[in-house]
Amino acid sequence: MANTYTQIYLQTVFAVKHRYGLIQTHWKEELYQYITGIVQQQGHKMLAINGMPDHIHVFMGINPKQSISDLIQDIKGDSSKWINSNRFVKGHFEWQSGYGAFSYGHSQIDLVVKYIQNQEMHHHQRSFLEEYTTFLRKFNVPYDEQYLFKPLDE
């Protein structure tokens, strides 16, 4: 893309199917490295990745050559296959359908990186669903509660 210049920063959030806490401490860093490889291989820049046992935040500089939905499909599909081939979980691992994607300006990068790096601290104060709906409201994203990530007890 000659003479194409972009500055697109995107935080994506997606959850383990049924929001089961399957991402274990002893292999989560390997998962984050694997996802980072997918992001970089597609020409994007990883800025931060972290999460909890039931969900992940990925903050990236996006290359417009690939649609966001195709990138998320690659990340979720390839990482699911990788988790299953390494037998990190009993049974079959899947990500829940859907994701959140939120854009930021250059001046917000440090703030978002710090937020993602401190996931454990944030989730001592509020649940994943509270965090997620806060993002949706903050970014004025209309949503239907029936399509939100399913709570743990369903």
Q: Is residue 153 part of a domain?
A: no
Average pLDDT over residues 10-18: 94
Counting the structural domains of the chain, the total is 1
Share of the chain above pLDDT 70, in %: 95
Q: Which residue has the higher pLDDT, 89 or 1?
A: 89
Q: Which of 114, 113, 154, 112 is nearest to 135 (CA)?
A: 112
Q: Decide if 28 is inside a domain.
A: yes
Note the pLDDT tens digit of each residue in 78-130. 999 999 999 999 999 999 999 999 999 999 999 999 999 998 887 778 888 88
Mean pLDDT of 12-17: 95
Whether the per-residue pLDDT at 154 is higher than 50: the answer is no
Q: What is the 3-state secondary structure (H, E, C) of the chain?
A: CCCCCCCCEEEEEEEEHHHCCCCCHHHHHHHHHHHHHHHHHCCCEEEEEEEECCEEEEEEECCCCCCHHHHHHHHHHHHHHHHHHCCCCCCCCCECCCCEEEEECHHHHHHHHHHHHCHHHHHHHCCHHHHHHHHHHHCCCCCCHHHCCCCCCC
41: pLDDT strictly greater than 90: yes
Task: Give the range of the structural domain holding residue 22, as residue numbers without chain letter.
Answer: 9-147
Instruction: Please give the pLDDT value at position 120.
Output: 82
Tell whether 54 is covered by a domain. Answer: yes
Average model confidence (pLDDT) for the chain? Answer: 91
Cα(20)–Cα(38) distance, rounded to whole angstroms? 23
Domain holding 55: CATH number? 3.30.70.1290
Instruction: Please indicate, yes or no, if residue 101 is contained in any of the structural domains.
Output: yes
Provide the percentage of residues in the chain whose pLDDT is more than 90: 71
- Kindly state whether residue 126 falls inside one of the protein's structural domains: yes
Structure tokens at 145: 């509660």
Q: Is the model's pLDDT at 150 over the cut of 80?
A: no
